[in-house]
Copies of this chain bind each other. A is one copy, B any other.
Amino acid sequence: MENLTTLMGKYGVEGDKLLFKILNSGNFLQGIPATNIEHRTSNIESGNPDYKELTPYIAEKGLRYDLTVPFARFVVQHQNELIFPFKRYQIQPVWRADRPQKGRYREFFQCDVDVIGSNSLLNEIELVQIIDEVFSQLGMNILIRINNRKILAGVAEVIGYPLKLTEITVAIDKLEKNGIEKVNEELLHKGISAEAMERLRPLIRLEGKIKEKVDFLSEFLNASEIGMAGIEELLVIKNHLKDLDLKNKFDFDFRLARGLTYYTGTIIEVKAIDVPIGSVCGGGRYDDLTGIFGLTGVSGVGISFGADRIYDVLNELKLFPDNLESTTKLLFLNFGEEEEKFCLKLLTHCRKSGIASEIYPQNIKLNKQLEYANRKNIPYVVFIGKDEMTTGELKVKDMKTGIQQNMTFEELKNFLLL
């Protein structure tokens, strides 16, 4: 939860709409100026209620849209206690008032890594290394795409619309989803001339090796200082990464835009190659983010893993290990009160020895208890009745083979710890 003043205006017009707002506690109608009420009411009667005008009066707090803006707020608030460059990771849920669909949730977990207080491109390189390592360990095939907002700014400049960077970025961002026709429509609608769009065309079609694409852009952006700076940053990153034996594919893509307005330099996006589900990780550099909260001149860069989409991909590709669903190794069957008491002590010993074990909580029919063990994939059960309590010879059954053998508790422990 954050104050809405912290969140509003940081994610573009679309983002503001997708913020979940929390109704003020208690009598939220108190404190609304009468004129607002009257105005609003007459609008309701006319069928056109002005809810936007009312919102700030009845909702002061909102749910996190991402972890980056709250992080920037945190950094500014604690600037005197933090040691810069400040690195942190953070795993928390975020919310978006979106229409839920595959890969798009209203409540989902982000896992963020940021470095703030350093404009060195080494940070970008380390973040790409983290991405590479994480997805290698998960066994997911990915493509890491990278671009630079300065290149996009250069393009906007060169085609004659330096002030329409955001509009152009937002439109290009939808290229993959909506196709070139829709993007052109949007650009036209935003006031970009047909001639400028014609200049853009070869860029949008740009394919090939990184070197070829960079060469083409270097010529294209020749007259733009910011554009050339973007290309240089990109090359530094590329050269470092080339040396670091990444396990995953890495590409430069001019069309990568990422909608969030706060990025100013490098932008990074990761897609799962085998499952079409949108990006599973993304991020970039933001030079001005803490500036909005009063701390200027502090550059940061960060990435965010989308845990739920990654979960979906792992699930769809069956990449979760088989044994994840069997957690208990030994079930003590329950034959009554006295046996319970006896077993509870052994159970405690087992757990202390690191053997995940449980006792069936009730003395119900044996086949019901065995069915529970089967359904939960518990590999061993132990029968301890009056006889076993006396002799100390416990009956242990392997649920897979059905083979039953007698052993003492010490033997059982050693057997399961093997």
Binding site for B on A (CB under 8 A): 1, 17-18, 20-23, 25-30, 32, 34, 37, 40-41, 44-45, 49, 51, 54-55, 58-59, 63, 83, 85, 87, 92-93, 95, 97, 106-107, 115, 118-120, 122-123, 125, 129, 240, 243-244, 340-341, 344-345, 348, 358-359, 361-362, 372, 375-376
Contacts and interface: CB of A to CB of B under 8 A. Distances in A.
A84 to B, nearest CB: 8
Contacts of A358: 87
Contacts of A51: 27-30
Nearest to A52: B27
Contacts of A106: 1
Number of copies: 2
A158 to B, nearest CB: 29
Given A29-B51, A49-B30, A120 B244 contact: no
Contacts of A93: 92-93
The 9 closest A-B pairs by CB, nearest first: A120-B361, A29-B49, A25-B97, A21-B23, A118-B361, A122-B361, A29-B51, A120-B362, A83-B375
A344 B244 contact: yes
Contact of A122 (B83, B123, B359, B375): B359
Contact of A63 (B22, B59, B122): B22
B29 A20 contact: no
Contacts of A240: 341, 344
Given A23-B22, A361-B122, A41 B49 contact: no
24 contacts: A1-B20, A1-B63, A18-B25, A22-B23, A23-B23, A23-B58, A25-B97, A27-B51, A28-B51, A29-B40, A30-B49, A32-B44, A37-B41, A83-B375, A87-B358, A92-B93, A119-B362, A122-B340, A240-B341, A243-B341, A243-B345, A244-B344, A244-B345, A244-B348
Given A20-B25, A21-B23, A120-B362, 17 more contacts: A18-B25, A20-B23, A21-B22, A22-B22, A22-B63, A27-B49, A28-B51, A29-B40, A29-B49, A29-B54, A37-B44, A118-B361, A120-B361, A122-B359, A122-B361, A240-B344, A244-B345
